[in-house]
Amino acid sequence: MHSFFKKIFAPKAPERITIVADTIPSLIEKKELGVRQVLDSETLGHMRNIRNSQAQLQLIVNGIAGAEHDPALHPKLKSIAKNSLPLFVKAMNASLSKELPEDIEEFYPAAVESVKGCLNSTRGQGRYLQVVFPEEMKSVKTGIDAIGRELNEITKSLTKYRMAKADIDALRDLYNTLSGIRLDFSKSVGKEQRTRVRLSEITDRIAAIEEEQKNLSSDGSMAEIAEQRAALASTGKEKDDASRLYASLSMTASHVFGKAEKIAAKQHHPTEISALKKTLEYLSGHSIPDCNDLAVAISSSFPIAQRMIDAGEIALKNKEERTIFSSTSSFIADISRACENVRELDEKFHVQETVLGCHPLILKTDSLDREKAQLGAMLTKETHSLEELALWREKTAEKFPVLTEQLRKKTEDIVGVNVQLEIDDLMKS
């Protein structure tokens, strides 16, 4: 029997409804429309009363403007009233004559501004009219108070509406956030698939290139290429040795000719300066000069430097400098030979390098190397992209249940009953 009565009188479980997440936008629209209709219905009468009160106030103010003053009134008060009345009437009409909007959210601030203007007028010029028009000014105050009371009622309705609207906006923001995440997550599945396809294609192509390179390495032409590379390396070494010899000779001579140019400049010998500068340009240039031009230039500069050496104006510092300037003909022959050797070896190296570079097998292997390098960079990029995508999906999957529960609770707040939210969990797909 006890359990029977307990079942009868036990509190009922709160009502619970199931809402499909995709229907929330229509729910939001209905709720917005509903709270707006409540606001309009609650404020319509107050808006009408405010307009009526404003009209009555204007009648009172216009009546004061046309009223005759009390003859028994003190002349000083009459003078004050005469000066204050036009200003008061003008200020009141300015506040009362503005058309109030039909929309309540626009109506309210306009009406508040109108009341503020009326209050400022009564506290300003109006206070001087209290003695002259006591009844009329009392009616003005009563009219302003009536508008104030109506505005207070509108304030209550607007406060409730804005709180409800804020809840609805919060629900919309939550829904949009969750919908955006679901859409992005759905797109990420396709992106992952496309990335994996690209990775597979790149990996397959790299494997094919490596197989092709392996086959090319056993090609019969590789022995010929090896010989050409060895010859090129040998020529390169000869060229480097010749270049070092030429550089040693030219730098040693340049050091002495540089001193000679400075002395010629101090002694104001323009012809000597010109000859020495030309020789220094050949010896110090970045490229190997024409060997005949170099020999002519050195021949013209050598006597100048030799004269300064003989006169004690230039002191030869080491064995290399003394060797060079011990015999003009020997030095010119040595540096010309070194110059020609460098130019010949440089040309030979260039020809061998061109021939080797144009070999079909080299062209093919170089092409494969470049492609493999490019594919390697693409593989790294796509792998990194896939890792970032996986990390994003993991973090997003963690957010999803939290946002879903927030959406459920906010929906529950809006509809006023317990809610079970039905939503596809795309994070498990």
CA 271 to centroid of chain Cα atoms: 64
Length of the chain: 429
Please give the share of the chain, as a percent, with pLDDT higher than 70.
90
Average pLDDT over residues 317-325: 82
Taking the C-alpha atoms of residue 193 and residue 174, their distance in angstroms, rounded to an integer, is 29
Question: Which residues, listed in sequence order, are joined to residue 128 by a DSSP beta bridge?
Answer: none
Which tens digit of pLDDT belongs to each residue from 257-298?
888 888 888 888 888 888 888 888 888 877 888 888 888 888
Q: Are 336 and 295 in contact (CB under 8 A)?
A: yes
Taking each helix axis from N to C end, the angle separating 328-357 and 291-310, rounded to the nearest 10 degrees, works out to 150
The pTM of the whole model exceeds 0.85:
no
Taking the C-alpha atoms of residue 304 and residue 264, their distance in angstroms, rounded to an integer, is 9
What pLDDT does residue 5 have?
Answer: 36
What pLDDT does residue 336 have?
Answer: 84
Average pLDDT over residues 374-387: 94
Q: Is the pLDDT of residue 325 over 50?
A: yes
Mean pLDDT rounded to a whole number for the chain: 84
Average pLDDT over residues 201-216: 88
371 or 215, which is more confident?
371
Q: Are 351 and 236 in contact (CB under 8 A)?
A: no
What pLDDT does residue 153 have?
Answer: 95
Taking each helix axis from N to C end, the angle separating 24-66 and 360-415, rounded to the nearest 10 degrees, works out to 60
Q: Is the pLDDT of residue 345 over 80?
A: yes
Tell me which of 30-34, 217-221, 229-233, 277-281 is least confident. Answer: 217-221
Q: Is the pLDDT of residue 1 over 50?
A: no
Taking the C-alpha atoms of residue 9 and residue 2, their distance in angstroms, rounded to an integer, is 11
Q: Are strands 16-20 and 418-422 parallel, antiparallel or unpaired?
A: parallel
Taking the C-alpha atoms of residue 394 and residue 195, their distance in angstroms, rounded to an integer, is 17
Q: What angle do CA 392, 398, 403 make, to 5 degrees?
A: 110
Average pLDDT over residues 58-62: 88
User: Where do runs of H (alpha helix) occur along 124-133?
Assistant: none
Question: Which residues, listed in sequence order, are joined to residue 421 by a DSSP beta bridge?
Answer: 19
> For residues 285, 286, 287 and 291, what is the CA-based torsion angle, rounded to 10 degrees?
30
pLDDT confidence band for 429 (50 / 70 / 90): very low
For 246-282, what is the HEC assignment? HHHHHHHHHHHHHHHHHHHHHCCCHHHHHHHHHHHHH
What pLDDT does residue 205 have?
Answer: 94
pLDDT confidence band for 314 (50 / 70 / 90): confident
Which amino acid, one-letter code, is at 348? Answer: K
CA 69 to centroid of chain Cα atoms: 73
Q: 401 to each of 28, 127, 187, 428, how far by Cα in Å?
A: 21, 65, 19, 11
Q: 129 to each of 69, 84, 121, how far by Cα in Å?
A: 11, 7, 11
Q: Is the pLDDT of residue 7 over 50?
A: no
* Tokens linked to 100: 């109030």
Taking the C-alpha atoms of residue 381 and residue 106, their distance in angstroms, rounded to an integer, is 56
What pLDDT does residue 249 have?
Answer: 83
Long-range pairs of 103-109 with CB within 8 A, sequence gap ≥ 24: 104/39, 104/40, 104/43, 104/47, 104/154, 104/158, 105/158, 107/43, 107/47, 108/151, 108/154, 108/155, 108/158
Q: Are 280 and 258 in contact (CB under 8 A)?
A: yes
What pLDDT does residue 202 have?
Answer: 94
Neighbours of 81 (CB within 10 A): 21
Average pLDDT over residues 189-198: 92
What pLDDT does residue 323 have?
Answer: 82
Q: Are 354 and 235 in contact (CB under 8 A)?
A: no
What pLDDT does residue 367 have?
Answer: 84
What pLDDT does residue 10 have?
Answer: 46
pLDDT confidence band for 115 (50 / 70 / 90): very high
Average pLDDT over residues 58-70: 75
What pLDDT does residue 9 have?
Answer: 42
Could you tell me the residue ranges of all domains in the chain? 24-173, 183-215+380-428, 220-358
CA 206 to centroid of chain Cα atoms: 36
Q: Is the pLDDT of residue 193 over 90?
A: yes
Token match 């092709």: residue? 212
User: Where do runs of H (alpha helix) occur along 97-129?
Assistant: 104-123
Q: Is the pLDDT of residue 118 over 60?
A: yes
Q: Are 248 and 379 in contact (CB under 8 A)?
A: no
Which amino acid, one-letter code, is at 36? Answer: R
Taking the C-alpha atoms of residue 324 and residue 227, their distance in angstroms, rounded to an integer, is 40
Q: Is the pLDDT of residue 41 over 90?
A: yes
Average pLDDT over residues 226-254: 83
Q: Are 293 and 282 in contact (CB under 8 A)?
A: yes
Q: Say which CATH class 24-173 falls into.
A: mainly alpha
Taking the C-alpha atoms of residue 416 and residue 16, their distance in angstroms, rounded to an integer, is 10
